[in-house]
Structure 1
Amino acid sequence: MMKKFSAVAAGLLSVAVIGSAIAQESENPAVKARTSIMKLYAFNLGNLGGMAKGEMEYDADAATRAANNLVVLTQIDQSAMWPAGSDNASDPSTRALPAIWENFPDVSAKGQAMAEAAVAMQAAAGQDVDALKAAMGDLGGSCSACHKAYRAPKD
């Protein structure tokens, strides 16, 4: 129980720290909030991906922490972070395409797929590197599915 609480607390603290670090990127608090969450996804996925690719030594505890963080992040209600008019046409600091607001049910389904993949990673991450690798495909694929459809490419 204490480990789970620590993981949740660490995840929430990370959201606060990253959020304050990127405050200059946009004046829209919703954009700042969702950008913070995306950076936390990337940080944790980077650790898991590094282990899966052999770029980092596999560490069961670190993999479990990263997977736990992802589960916590997917449980945050992000609905207020995506108000109409916060796309890249209105705010150049974001890469969110207007199509998000035209296809919100699809975006929500993709978010649910990521949440499910994060739970699967949580179950696999601490087992061994092969289990982590097996779970990585669905997790990375869930991110890519949304980004390919709803995120503008970098300039």
Structure 2
Amino acid sequence: MKYTFAALAACAVLATPALAQDLPQPVKARQGQFNILALNLGILGGMARGTVEYDADAAQAAADSLVAVTMVDQRAMWPEGTDMESIDGTRALPAAFENVEDVVAKWEALGEAAVAMQAAVGDGQQAIGQNMGAIAGACKDCHDDYRASE
């Protein structure tokens, strides 16, 4: 369970926005969607761990937000020249830009895990915890290939 939450925390931080105002719009958009994911995964993770009281409405809103973010088409988010070797303020590896369709496929897998979470959150704290692993796995799958470690 600790590994799952550590992986989710890692999912929340794809890039460190050093000077966000100086970053190209696609990078700002990528980082923005990861911030939204982080916020909502934090809510759900807290409920799953029991550090935040389970609230069915708040859990549903967080899961709905995950689904909404994962519906954003990623193709415009990954233009060449926005990797960590080209600009400061991102940890996106050049491999992501060589394999955009794989990035898109991994994002879609995250979306599928988010939809499963969305369907389960109304069943209580335990159901949230049972679905966190799939989300963490989807995040890790992409990060292993396309994000530099800190």
2:100 matched residue in structure 1:
104
How many pairs were matched up? 133
User: The residue matched to 1:73 in structure 2 has which SS?
Assistant: helix
Question: For residue 95 of structure 2, what is the amino acid of its counterpart?
Answer: A
**Structure 1 CA distance for aligned equivalents of residues 75 and 104 of structure 2:** 10
Compute the TM-score of the two structures, normalised by the length of structure 1: 0.80
**Structure 2 CA distance for aligned equivalents of residues 53 and 152 of structure 1:** 28
CA deviations on 1:103-125 (whole Å, 9 max, x unpaired) are: 22322221111010000000001
With a CA cutoff of 8 Å and minimum separation of 6, indicate the structure with the bigger relative contact order: 2
Distance 1:61 1:52, change over 3 A: same
Structure 2: which 5+ residue stretches go unaligned? Answer: 1-16
Report how far residue 130 of structure 1 moved.
1.2
2:10 matched residue in structure 1:
none
Residue 48 of structure 2 is aligned to residue 35 of structure 1? no
1:146 matched residue in structure 2:
142
CA deviations on 1:94-153 (whole Å, 9 max, x unpaired) are: 111001022223222211110100000000012111111111110111112111221111
Residue number among 53, 64, 70 corresponding to 2:60 in the alignment: 64
1:23–1:32 Cα contact (<8 Å) kept = no
2:78–2:100 Cα contact (<8 Å) kept = no
Compute the TM-score of the two structures, normalised by the length of structure 2: 0.83
1:85 matched residue in structure 2:
81
1:49 matched residue in structure 2:
45
Structure 1: which 5+ residue stretches go unaligned? Answer: 1-21
1:134 matched residue in structure 2:
130
**Cα RMSD for the two superposed structures:** 1.5
**Structure 2 CA distance for aligned equivalents of residues 84 and 149 of structure 1:** 17
1:52–1:129 Cα contact (<8 Å) kept = yes
